Amino acid sequence: MSYVSVSQLTKSFGDNTVFENINFNIEKGEFITLLGPSGCGKSTLLRSLTGLDPLNNGEIWVNGENITNQTPQQRGIGMVFQSYALFPNMTVTENIAFGLKMKKIDAKTVEKEVNKVIELVDLNGKENRYPHQLSGGQRQRVALARALVVKPRILLLDEPLSALDAKIRKRLRQQIRDIQKELNLTTIFVTHDQEEAMIMSDRIFLMNQGEIVQQGSPEEIYTQPGNEFVAGFMGHYNLVDAPKAKQLFNIETEWKVAIRPESIYVKEEGRHYADHISTPKQGIIKNHQLLGNVIRYQVEVNDCSLTVDLLNRSSERLLAAGSTLDLLFNLNEIQPVRA
């Protein structure tokens, strides 16, 4: 049996059904990301797992125990919120120790456990500071430490990095992942950021309008989208309708087809291409975006607008709007996607 097993979860607020008949299993030590656009139900699902939002239907099992009707305090689940939710009148040490003191743990053990987790999240030297004296990243680490010190069976993270700037966000997400691996801690992480989900997750549960529309490894979700929504949400897939797919790729399909921008190449003179590479199609560049190591071109091919990503090897590679170029398509990486 899986470490976490969820079946038929349904949650409504009045006439508004947030999600219905949600089912999934998680193994011990897995890092799962609930990914999806704002309003798809992922944060409410997380709160339902903790018991903060009671369910209308369904069951939650953890390590063979039915916790569906348990109080949040009984479940052994730690949660870190986007807003940190720190006590402003308590120091770092006092904030972290709060959960242990509520459990009536003796003072010596509290001190020992708090010191261990302070070192784990790299807050040494900040023990006596108050939240207003800390940076956003430091406050988030205090919130993480407070959740970890009670040794939860499951750690839930509700968009904990979204309020931080990009540099701190990158450093902290790696730190969270390293700690999670070190502790072998079953973790469910909520985000609407595709890059974050791809980097951090063992598996991604992609949600839309209250449903998990696809679940799998980051590679599976990215390279094998199950429908148009997944293809449109993950990366910058080109979605080409059936008549254009026949015209451009000689593919017969009743669905649209999806092809990633990096699976489209510019023909290089004198180079031999394998059989799975299409014959060239001439395109006209409409515009480009410089994305650091990638140049993203918008190219018009037979009245079809395509996004093409090329590696930015030097400024000489920049092609001006109005330029023509021959595009080749990796036919092995074109797949039909249902609506």
Q: Which of 77, 69, 14, 19 is nearest to 45 (CA)?
A: 19
- For residue 200, the 8-state DSSP code is H
**Is residue 298 within 8 Å of 285, Cβ to Cβ?**
yes
Domain parsing of the chain, residue ranges: 4-232, 239-337
What integer pLDDT is reported at residue 47 of this predicted model? Answer: 94
* pTM exceeding 0.75: yes
Residue pair 57/8 in contact by the 8 Å Cβ criterion:
yes
Rounded Cα distance between 317 and 254, Å, is: 37
Q: How far apart are CA 203 and CA 217, in angstroms?
A: 4
In this predicted structure, the answer to whether residue 190 has a pLDDT above a threshold of 90 is yes
Contact of 36 with 202, CB cutoff 8 Å: no
Residue 315: pLDDT band (50, 70, 90) is low
Cα gap 151→228, rounded to integer Å: 41
Contact in structure between 221 and 214 (CB atoms under 8 Å) = yes
Q: How far apart are CA 195 and CA 226, in angstroms?
A: 19
pLDDT one-digit tens code per residue, 64-101: 999 999 999 999 999 998 888 899 999 999 999 999 99
Confirm or reject CATH 3.40.50.300 for domain 4-232, answering yes or no. Answer: yes
CATH fold of 239-337 reads OB fold (Dihydrolipoamide Acetyltransferase, E2P) (2.40.50)
Q: What are 103-129's pLDDT values in tens digits?
A: 899 999 999 999 999 999 999 999 999
Cα–Cα distance, 24 to 287 (Å, whole number): 43
For residue range 26-58, what is the model confidence (pLDDT) as tens digits? 999 999 999 999 999 999 999 999 999 999 999
Q: Two tokens at 294? A: 């990638």
d(CA 34, CA 298): 31
Return the DSSP state at 227: B
Average pLDDT over residues 158-184: 91
Helices 136-148 and 107-120: crossing angle in degrees, nearest 10, is: 130
Are the beta carbons of 333 and 264 closer than 8 angstroms?
A: no
3-state secondary structure (DSSP) of residue 289? strand
- DSSP assignments along 89-109, one per residue: TS-HHHHHHHHHHHTT--HHH
For residue 326, which of 269, 270, 286 has the smallest C-alpha distance?
269
